[in-house]
Amino acid sequence: MMVETAPLGRFQYQRLELKRWVPAFLSSHKTLFTVLWIAAFASVFVWQRNVVGGGFAVFWRVPMRPMPRLRPVAFNLTDFGGVGDGVTLNTEAFERAVLAISKLGKKGGGQLNVPPGRWLTAPFNLTSHMTLFLADDAVILGIEDEKYWPLMPPLPSYGYGREHPGPRYGSLIHGQNLKDVVITGHNGTINGQGQTWWKKYRQKLLNHTRGPLVQIMWSSDILIANITLKDSPFWTLHPYDCKNVTIRNVTILAPVIGAPNTDGIDPDSCEDMIIENCYISVGDDGIAIKSGWDQYGIAYGRPSMNILIRNLVVRSMVSAGVSIGSEMSGGVSNITVENLIVWSSRRAVRIKTAPGRGGYVRHITYRNLTFDNVRVGIVIKTDYNEHPDEGYDRKAVPKLEDISFTGVHGQGVRVPVRIHGSEDIPVRNVSFRDMSVGITYKKKHIFQCAFVQGRVIGTIFPAPCENLDRYDEQEHLIKHSVSQNLTDIDYDF
């Protein structure tokens, strides 16, 4: 945004005039007192505005930033009859706008601007070559009554609604078989108003699985940036079987307690994806990489692969900051998680699976992890026994291999490492390097292992379990492990 500046000559003239005027003005004690009183009164207004969050914005209104034009054609939601009063239902306005943009694909698509206001709506679909742009102070509100939410078939790689058999509720903002879609803005908000859904879920009043806040399926070239996603009924942002997805500068919020299954971002059978520079504080996993559930995921056969997650701050009091699984039956590979801070959480990073999943988790790299007041830092769990039905193959065991941790630091951690492999699902080729984590418990088995093979390079703290080979900093073998099958898992702390 261009800002007009005064010419230098005029500015110098004003300074000279000010020097002549100020001494004469302040010669009056009464006037000086009045000036100081007005300044103090104004400072109270400014302070109250900062504390209350804009309660006196009418006096101090900053000009709204203009909507940038990111497409050849741009519309405002008000052009289609939208009313941002938080009461009027705007579903038809969104649908008319999307229909107009759908006709512009050959011309480069169109942009839908959502101005400041509270725009209540039922679920609606996006279209290809579309930019959805939310102004600052723009809030898209999901209607709370589930009768407005359409039912959809279960995901083919799940074969089940996830919470109930049969169909599931669709997402508030949805897209299928799309290309070139952007959701962005001046940090406007998409609010699912999930409180009603969470209450009904706890009271077992829902007959179908709750819907995500934003779900994009079978699509490519997706960018989601510079927005806030809040209070989803279920998973917040769910890219499903998508390619070339970028999620950047996104804030995702839900209560850390009492907001069940409000995962932040769930890449599901996705390929070539970047998640970066995000803040996530939710009621379940901050990020959970998935690829289908048991026999349905094995049959669908679409892995999640080539995913980079970096520069995140995450909080999860119920689950983990960044998870892989537990639904990973299509396979997960080539994942990098780096520059991650997890604070005041139950777990920091976790891989979870079970017999019956099949698939694999391999070539996983963690770098520069910071844990601050976390119950368990690193978790690999192989008995996460949740299944869609009894039709799963109990002999379909996943493979876990080639997982490295480099640069793990932090404080206030109860159990820094818990790797719980099993005889049927051993964990292979795990490595640790440059690790120093301040612990809150002084028990013997702080670094817990079972059925794991791998190595420790250099000196790390706390002392590693005996299952792992020891190497020096130059990667020369110092000591072979006593037994890779040793078990010292202690869930009592």
Residue 417 tokens read as 């490492």
Q: At what angle do helices 29-52 and 8-26 cross, to 10 degrees?
A: 120
- Cβ within 8 Å of residue 98, ≥6 positions away: 112, 124, 125, 126, 127, 130
β-partners of residue 352 are: 325, 381
Residues recorded for the chain: 493
- Reduced to 3 states, what is the DSSP secondary structure of residue 282? strand
Report the 10 Å Cβ neighbour count for 456. 23
Buried-state track 266-297, b at ≥16 Cβ within 10 A, e below 16: bbbbbbebbbbbbbbbbbbbbbbbbbbbbbbb
Residue 282 CA to residue 127 CA, distance in Å, equals: 28
> What's 211's DSSP letter?
P
Element (H, E) at 366: strand 360-381
> H/E element holding 460?
none
Q: Are 139 and 122 in contact (CB under 8 A)?
A: no
Torsion angle of the four alpha carbons 367, 371, 376, 381, in this order, in degrees rounded to the nearest 10: -20
Closest to 109 in 3D by CA, of 165, 57, 70, 54: 70
Question: Can you tell me the distance from the alpha carbon of 100 to that of 49, in angstroms, rounded to the nearest whole number?
Answer: 40
Three-class DSSP category at 293: coil
Q: List all residues 6 or more positions away from 161 whose beta carbon is below 8 Å from its beta carbon.
A: 154, 167, 168, 208, 209
Q: Which of 368, 328, 369 is nearest to 351 (CA)?
A: 328
Measured CA distances, 437 to 101, 243, 290, 371, 413 (Å): 52, 36, 28, 8, 7
Q: In the annotation, is 266 catalytic?
A: no
Residue that has been written with the tokens 């493979």 in this structure: 399
- 128 in helix, strand or coil? coil
Residue 66 burial (10 A CB sphere; 0-12, 13-18, 19+): exposed
Which candidate in 263, 268, 284, 294 is catalytic?
Answer: 284
Supply φ then ψ for residue 387, to 5 degrees.
-135, 150
The answer to whether 269 and 247 are in contact (CB under 8 A) is: no
- Catalytic residue IDs: 284
